[in-house]
Amino acid sequence: MHGLPGAFSANPHARRPGAWGWWLLAPMLAWLLLFVVAPMGILVAYSFGSRGMLGDVEFGFSWDSYARIADPIYLRIFARSIGYAALTTALCVLIGFPAAWFIARRGPGWRERLLLLVMIPFWTSFLIRTYAWIAILRSEGLLNAVLKSSGAVPHVFAEPLELLYTPAAVVIGLVYVYLPFVILPVYASAEKLDGVLIEAAHDLGAGPLRVFREVILPLTWPGVAAGMMLVFVPAIGMFAITDLLGGARVSMIGNVIQNQFTKALNFPFGAALGVVFTLLFVVSFALLQWLGRRKDETAKAR
């Protein structure tokens, strides 16, 4: 709260919220309290309990569930989940940034059409889209049919590709699902970028890479950071794609949490995993904030 007076004084047009402002904010605060704060409190309370004989929760204060997370099996699952989520995020940024930049540089008419194409997948059920990838990636699916008809099999590939129920299929599914969550926020930042700044950088002798590193990326970083958060965190906890495209052979932390609540009926351990997962989100958010501040400090130093 110590930073608020300075924030208000920095903007001469800012006003402290009055009673009416708090009333307008009340629905959002109530929603956060009921659906974010309260469930998180229940999760924390469960995580310190213990599993009863019949699968019920015996409340108390025990670190046993958290100590169990240190088991090498679960540490490997956490590492695998973070690795898959990081790879998914990197691929989404590598694919989504150029796509968002291309859309932002088009005229108004083309931008609307291209954005519509990006958003069309949201009109279809997530499960239907995932089952569609099963039909594409299976041994006798669309992908191998195209490869056979084009002659790539057997001239390039000795035999049809076996992608379904592999880590590659999981990553493909994750990238497909979360790619729009990078394109849209990056587009929002790129669309506001003044092209005069890029032209000025070129006029001053900067090459394409330097313009991207010192002009484009810093000015679109808020969108990039938002996209990375929107992909990385849910990708760690995703369990439906790993079940359907990974054939339950590629376990991630989301699958373990789901199994603890639905099959093992070990609510305290599942809650402890959920709390650790939330802490991963906090650490990821703090890291991106730190990177953003470093970029601002570097830009000011230059």
**CA 156/CA 220 separation, integer angstroms:** 40
Cut 0.85: pTM above it: no
Query: Which CATH number do you get for residue 182?
Result: 1.10.3720.10
For residue 134, is it within any domain? yes
Give a yes or no: residue 204 inside a domain: yes
pLDDT given at position 8: 40
Extract the residue ranges of the chain whose pLDDT is less than 50. Answer: 1-9
Which residues have a Cβ under 8 Å from the Cβ of 225 and sit 6 or more positions away?
288, 291, 292
Q: Which two tokens stand for residue 153?
A: 């099999």
Q: Output the 3-class SS for 76-107.
A: HHHHHHHHHHHHHHHHHHHHHHHHHHHHHCCC
Task: Residue 74: name the closest of 256, 241, 237, 236 by CA.
Answer: 256
Is 194 domain-assigned?
yes
DSSP type of residue 35: I
In a domain, 14, yes or no: no
pLDDT tens column, 199-218: 888 888 888 898 898 889 88
SS3 annotation, 146-188: HHHHHCHHHHCCCCCCCCCCCHHHHHHHHHHHHCHHHHHHHHH
Contacts 24+ apart (CB under 8 A), 277-286: 277/236, 277/237, 277/253, 278/40, 278/43, 280/82, 280/233, 280/236, 281/233, 284/229, 284/232, 284/233, 285/229
In a domain, 34, yes or no: no
DSSP state of 54: T
Predicted pLDDT at 134: 92
Question: Are the CB atoms for 16 and 8 separated by under 8 Å?
Answer: yes
Percentage with pLDDT > 70 across the chain: 92
Position 41 scores a pLDDT of 93
Question: What are the structure tokens assigned to 48, written together?
Answer: 């310190």
Structural domain boundaries, residue 182: 72-301
Using CA atoms, how far apart are residues 270 and 63, in angstroms rounded to an integer? 13
Encode pLDDT of 143-178 as tens digits: 888 888 888 877 777 788 888 888 999 999 999 999
Question: Could you tell me if residue 284 is inside a domain?
Answer: yes
Instruction: Tell me how far the alpha carbon of residue 146 is from its chain's centroid.
Output: 31
pLDDT at residue 296, as a whole number: 67
User: Structural domain tally of the chain?
Assistant: 1
For tokens 């007076």, the residue is 5
252 located within any domain: yes
Residue 127 within a domain: yes
